[in-house]
Structure 1
Amino acid sequence: MQITSVTTTAVRTSTREPLTWPGGVRQSASGLVVEIATDEGICGVGEAPGPTLPTIRTVIEQELTQFLVGQDPLRTEWLVHRMEEFSRNWSGIAAYAIAGLEIALLDLKGKALGAPVVELLGGVCSDRVPVVGYLFIDDPEANARKAKAFVDAGYTELKLKVGRDFHQDHDSIAAIRDAVGTDVKLRIDANMIWSVPAAIKWIRGLEKFDLQYVEQPVPDFDVAGLAQVRRSVSVPIAADEACTDVRSALELVRHDACDVFVVYPSEAGGLTRARQIAAVAEAAGKWCAIGSWAELGPATIANAHLAAATTTFAFASDTHYPLQEEDVLVAPLDMSDGLLAVPRVPGLGVELDRAAMERLANNQVRESVFYDDIQGEAPRVGQIL
Structure 2
Amino acid sequence: MKITSIHTVPVRTPMREPLVWPGGTRLSASGLLVEVHTDEGIVGIGEAPGPTLPTIRTIIDAELTQFLLGQDPLRTEWLVHRMEEFTRNWSRIGAYAISGIEIALLDLKGKALGVPVAELLGGFCRREVPVVGYLFIDEPEANARKAAAFVDAGYSELKLKVGRDFGQDHDTIAAIRDEVGSGVKIRIDANMIWSVPAAIKWIRGLEKFDLQYVEQPVPDFDVAGMATVRRAVGVPIAADEGCTDIRSALELIKADACDVFVVYPSEAGGLTRGREIAALAAAAGKWCAIGSWAELGAATMANAHLVAGSSNFPFASDTHYPLQELDVLTESLEMSNGFISVTDAPGLGVDVDRDAVERLANIQVRESVFYDDIQGEAPRVGQIV
Q: Same fold (TM over 0.5)?
A: yes
**Is structure 2 residue 91 aligned with structure 1 residue 91?**
yes
Structure 1 partner of 2:14? 14
Q: State the AA in 2 paired with 1:315.
A: F
**Is structure 2 residue 342 aligned with structure 1 residue 342?**
yes
Structure 2 partner of 1:383? 383
Structure 2 partner of 1:208? 208
Contact 1:135 1:159 in 2 (8 A): yes
Structure 2 partner of 1:32? 32
* Mapping for residues 100-179 of structure 1, pairs under 5 Å: 100-179=100-179
Aligned partners of 2:192, 2:243: CA distance in 1, in Å?
12
**Is structure 2 residue 219 aligned with structure 1 residue 219?**
yes
* Unaligned 5+ runs, structure 2: none
**What do residues 219-238 of structure 1 show as CA deviations (whole Å, max 9, x unaligned)?**
00000000000000000000
**What do residues 311-349 of structure 1 show as CA deviations (whole Å, max 9, x unaligned)?**
100100000000000000001000041000012111000
**What do residues 96-123 of structure 1 show as CA deviations (whole Å, max 9, x unaligned)?**
0000000000000000011100000000
Contact 1:368 1:374 in 2 (8 A): no
RMSD over equivalenced CA pairs, Å: 0.5
**What do residues 32-64 of structure 1 show as CA deviations (whole Å, max 9, x unaligned)?**
000000000000000000000000000000000
Partner of 2:13, secondary structure, is: strand
Structure 2 partner of 1:302? 302
Deviation of residue 350 (structure 1)?
0.1
Q: State the AA in 2 paired with 1:343.
A: T
Contact 1:155 1:337 in 2 (8 A): yes
Q: State the AA in 2 paired with 1:299.
A: A
Deviation of residue 379 (structure 1)?
1.5
**What do residues 174-217 of structure 1 show as CA deviations (whole Å, max 9, x unaligned)?**
00000000100000000000000000000000000000000000
Q: State the AA in 2 paired with 1:121.
A: L
Q: State the AA in 1 paired with 2:380.
A: R
Structure 1 partner of 2:327? 327
Q: State the AA in 2 paired with 1:87.
A: T
Partner of 2:163, secondary structure, is: coil
Q: State the AA in 2 paired with 1:268.
A: A
Aligned partners of 1:102, 1:276: CA distance in 2, in Å?
14
Partner of 2:99, secondary structure, is: helix
Contact 1:125 1:309 in 2 (8 A): yes
Aligned partners of 2:100, 2:138: CA distance in 1, in Å?
33
Partner of 1:4, secondary structure, is: strand
Aligned partners of 2:378, 2:158: CA distance in 1, in Å?
28
Give aligned-pair identity as a percent: 80
* Mapping for residues 199-348 of structure 1, pairs under 5 Å: 199-348=199-348
Contact 1:230 1:257 in 2 (8 A): yes
Runs of 4+ deviating beyond 4 Å: none
Contact 1:99 1:270 in 2 (8 A): yes
Deviation of residue 372 (structure 1)?
3.0
Aligned partners of 1:259, 1:29: CA distance in 2, in Å?
29
**What do residues 145-168 of structure 1 show as CA deviations (whole Å, max 9, x unaligned)?**
000000000000000000000000
Aligned partners of 1:302, 1:64: CA distance in 2, in Å?
21
Aligned partners of 1:278, 1:371: CA distance in 2, in Å?
31
Q: State the AA in 2 paired with 1:347.
A: G
Structure 1 partner of 2:183? 183
Aligned partners of 2:126, 2:213: CA distance in 1, in Å?
23
Deviation of residue 377 (structure 1)?
2.6
Q: State the AA in 2 paired with 1:99.
A: S
Aligned partners of 1:343, 1:108: CA distance in 2, in Å?
16
Q: State the AA in 1 paired with 2:59.
A: V
Aligned partners of 1:67, 1:165: CA distance in 2, in Å?
49
Aligned partners of 1:168, 1:315: CA distance in 2, in Å?
26
* Mapping for residues 4-83 of structure 1, pairs under 5 Å: 4-83=4-83
Q: State the AA in 2 paired with 1:164.
A: R
Aligned partners of 1:137, 1:210: CA distance in 2, in Å?
19
Deviation of residue 373 (structure 1)?
1.7
Q: State the AA in 1 paired with 2:24.
A: G
Aligned partners of 1:107, 1:372: CA distance in 2, in Å?
35
